[in-house]
Amino acid sequence: MIVELPVMKIVKTAQSKLEGIDFNNLPFGSTFTDHMFVCDYANGAWQTPEIVPYGPLSMDPSASVLHYGQAVFEGMKAYKDDEDKIWLFRPDENHKRINKSSVRLHIPEFPADYFFDGLNALLKLDAAWIQKGLGNSLYVRPFVFANTAGVQAAPGNRYKFMIICSPVKAYYSGELKVKIEDRFSRAAPGGVGYAKAAGNYGAQFYPTSLAQKEGFQQIIWTDAASHQFLEEAGTMNVFFRINDTLLTAPVNDSILDGVTRKSVIEVAKSKGIAVDIRPVEVSEILEAQKTGALKEIFGCGTAVVVSPISGFGYRGDQFEVKPIENSFASELKETLLGIQYNTLPDPFGWRYEVR
């Protein structure tokens, strides 16, 4: 069935996949909903957006994204409350950030009305894929890439913006231990570290696989110049609790400006927790671990929400971070989830209802 909307064409799937889905057994991001949003850029403008059945793309083998990695993405989540209302969390931040990332990768910015109309229409169409209950959500993945045909290493004139959705539960199951990396680098001043560029993630896979062989799940990256300052972990920004103060690195051109990170900071401040935003030295964390001042480490991000880190490694030594009572990570996570799932008031105005 084809429905013509003023600014969007919607083609519904003839056969939903929903019935065959085991929602209790969902490896993160491996199952996708019935539909996807697609919008092409050609002739100097974004064309009429479409929602079509989820499925493979056909593209020229010389498309620039395949050769030069010109692609950026976002991560968001949609939640369903007890009254079947669907909520997003600060989606305007994701829209702003995908455009900021796009500018850095020389991709045309995507208009806000296309982004929000696409999100609303797609989430309403695939609403049955969003399970109720804490811990269930729909991971929403907007992304945009260059598909100009031709291997000239130069900006092209064709791009594709898409949104796909995946029903998810927790990102990490089990413990989360991180290695402080002092050999490989994720980002350098003047580079693309602040952008959600596809290559920032792909380039982490090899060093992360080495860390995994040593028993860690993730890496905490250090600055490329000196390896003395802690930056971010693979898919998360990182916080350290030193006695009763939360410490985190300031965002700069090497660190992603995480939506969960800035929300954690605001929620913490609203609870009267002191937050110190300044460069974090590896040596001070080692010292705090030695003296017992290091009470917690946690990572945060859309996919992981807030995840306690139970240990870390540095230059062959391993350190444990024991669980504590009255953990800041638990308290902050509970508040964030309450806002996201519409079970707590939202004094910040962060919830966005999908209509």
Chain residues binding ligand COI by CB under 6 A are 75, 201, 235, 301-303
Closer of 9 and 100 to ligand COI (Cβ): 100
The one-letter amino acid code at 170 reads A
- From the CB of 224, what's the least distance to ligand COI, in Å? 21
Residue listed under structure tokens 């991971």: 139
Residue 232's nearest CA partner among 171, 299, 281, 297 is 299
In angstroms, what is the minimal distance from the CB of 75 to ligand COI?
2
* Residue in the block written with tokens 């064309």: 47
Query: Measured from the CB atom, is 147 or 302 closer to ligand COI?
Result: 302
Min dist. Cβ of residue 34 to ligand COI (A): 22
Question: Which of 8, 306 has the CB closer to ligand COI?
Answer: 306
Q: What are phi and psi for residue 286, nearest 5 degrees?
A: -65, -40
Smallest distance, Å, CB 2 to ligand COI? 32
> What gap in Å lies between CA 233 and CA 312, rounded to an integer?
12
- Please check whether residue 189 is in contact with residue 279, taking contact to mean a CB–CB distance below 8 angstroms: no
**CA–CA distance, 299 with 126 (Å, rounded to integer):** 30
Q: List beta partners, residue 40.
A: 160
Cα 169 from Cα 205, distance rounded (Å): 22
* For ligand COI, the closer CB: 179 or 196: 196
Closest residue to ligand COI using C-beta atoms: 75
- DSSP designation for 129: G
Select 36 or 242, whichever has its Cβ closest to ligand COI: 36
